[in-house]
């Protein structure tokens, strides 16, 4: 019986649930909150719903398969690098604690939790996902990036759109001829008399793979590549091809 209760209680020292204080601390932030406007009312309602979802996971009031499905969406802070909410910029924790601003205190609490909580078990990961999705939707805002991963995705989409709208470049890519390169510095009179050229694209891919190998030292890894060549030799087109 005791072993079973450990899976449901949040009593510290007697629980198998990670970060057992989270749900109670979240509750304490919103317990006496009386919203001052429509936006706060929406945030309060979303907070209540989020707390309910967290407790549903803790007590397994939802099917274990559903909990597992939620946990499968988990990505740690170290993986996606969560961005600091703009509400917290230029203000210290001491200043926040002195204010009677529950939304601001709630923002700080949730941000600190998702940046420091690193769950390993299914329930903990599911709770983290619920809290992060609340953070993303109601604190940061769905239209704003909430992590470095979001920023990278936005840049990728912008690059893709830019490429799709560049009809001249698209036509050039359709007839792209693989760029040949070598390892010595380009000069105006150089026509590769040594005849030691290689496929530049494949060479770049190989270098990127090498950077992933942990066994190589910093000195062994090539940190920079300088692409030189005659005007019109295909440097810009190659970079576009590499982006694809």
Query: Are residue 131 and residue 202 in the same domain, yes or no?
Result: no
| Per-residue confidence (pLDDT) for residue 2, from 0 to 100 | 44
- pLDDT mean over 48-67: 95
Q: Model's pTM, two decimal places?
A: 0.70
| Beta carbons within 8 Å of 135's beta carbon, 6+ residues apart | 82, 110, 111, 114, 146
Query: Are residue 137 and residue 238 in the same domain, yes or no?
Result: no
Query: Are residue 98 and residue 33 in the same domain, yes or no?
Result: yes
* 119-154: pLDDT as tens digits: 999 999 999 999 999 999 999 999 999 999 999 899
Query: Are residue 8 and residue 79 in the same domain, yes or no?
Result: yes
86 domain-assigned: yes
Query: Are residue 170 and residue 129 in the same domain, yes or no?
Result: no
| Per-residue confidence (pLDDT) for residue 155, from 0 to 100 | 86
Instruction: Copy the structure tokens of residue 206.
Output: 């190989």
Q: Final residue of a domain: which of 102, 121, 149?
A: 149
Query: Are residue 28 and residue 135 in the same domain, yes or no?
Result: yes
Question: Structural domain of residue 35, as residue ranges?
Answer: 2-149
Query: Are residue 39 and residue 142 in the same domain, yes or no?
Result: yes
Give yes or no for residue 42 having a pLDDT over 90.
yes
Query: Are residue 98 and residue 54 in the same domain, yes or no?
Result: yes
Domain count, the chain: 2
- pLDDT mean over 186-208: 67
Query: Are residue 66 and residue 176 in the same domain, yes or no?
Result: no
* 151-194: pLDDT as tens digits: 989 988 887 787 777 776 666 666 666 667 777 666 655 555 55
156 domain-assigned: no
* Closest listed residue to residue 123, CA positions, set 69, 171, 86, 163: 69
Q: When comparing pLDDT for 230 and 63, which is higher? A: 63
The mean of the pLDDT values for the chain is 82
Taking residue 97's Cβ as centre, other Cβ atoms within 10 Å add up to: 10
| Per-residue confidence (pLDDT) for residue 182, from 0 to 100 | 74
Q: What percent of the chain has pLDDT over 70?
A: 71
| Per-residue confidence (pLDDT) for residue 15, from 0 to 100 | 78
Judge whether 44 and 30 are in contact, CB under 8 Å. Answer: yes
Query: Are residue 41 and residue 107 in the same domain, yes or no?
Result: yes
| Per-residue confidence (pLDDT) for residue 218, from 0 to 100 | 54
238 domain-assigned: yes
Give yes or no for residue 214 having a pLDDT over 60.
no
Query: Are residue 42 and residue 126 in the same domain, yes or no?
Result: yes
Cα 65 to Cα 71: distance, rounded to the nearest angstrom:
10
155 domain-assigned: no
Query: Are residue 50 and residue 94 in the same domain, yes or no?
Result: yes
Cα 204 to Cα 239: distance, rounded to the nearest angstrom:
11
């Amino acid at each position: 019986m005791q072993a079973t209760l450990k899976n449901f209680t949040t009593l510290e020292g007697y629980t198998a649930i990670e970060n057992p204080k989270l749900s109670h601390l979240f509750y304490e932030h919103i317990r006496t909150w009386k919203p001052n406007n429509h936006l706060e009312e929406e945030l309060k309602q979303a907070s209540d719903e989020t707390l309910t979802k967290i407790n549903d996971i803790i007590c397994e009031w939802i099917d274990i398969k559903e909990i597992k499905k939620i946990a499968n969406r988990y990505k740690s802070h170290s993986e996606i690098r969560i961005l600091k909410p703009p509400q917290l910029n230029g203000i210290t924790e001491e200043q926040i604690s002195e204010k009677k601003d529950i939304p601001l205190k709630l923002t700080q609490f949730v941000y600190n939790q998702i940046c420091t909580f690193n769950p390993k078990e299914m329930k903990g990961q599911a709770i983290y996902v619920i809290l992060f999705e609340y953070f993303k939707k109601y604190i940061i805002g769905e239209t704003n990036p909430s992590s470095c991963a979001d920023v990278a995705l936005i840049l990728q989409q912008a690059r893709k759109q830019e490429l799709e709208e560049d009809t001249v470049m698209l036509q050039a890519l359709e007839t792209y001829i693989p760029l040949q390169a070598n390892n010595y510095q380009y000069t105006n009179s150089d026509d590769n008399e040594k005849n030691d050229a290689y496929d530049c694209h494949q060479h770049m891919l190989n270098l990127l793979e090498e950077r992933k190998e942990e066994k190589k030292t910093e000195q062994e890894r090539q940190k920079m590549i300088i692409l030189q060549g005659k005007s019109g030799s295909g440097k810009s087109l190659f970079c576009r091809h590499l982006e694809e």
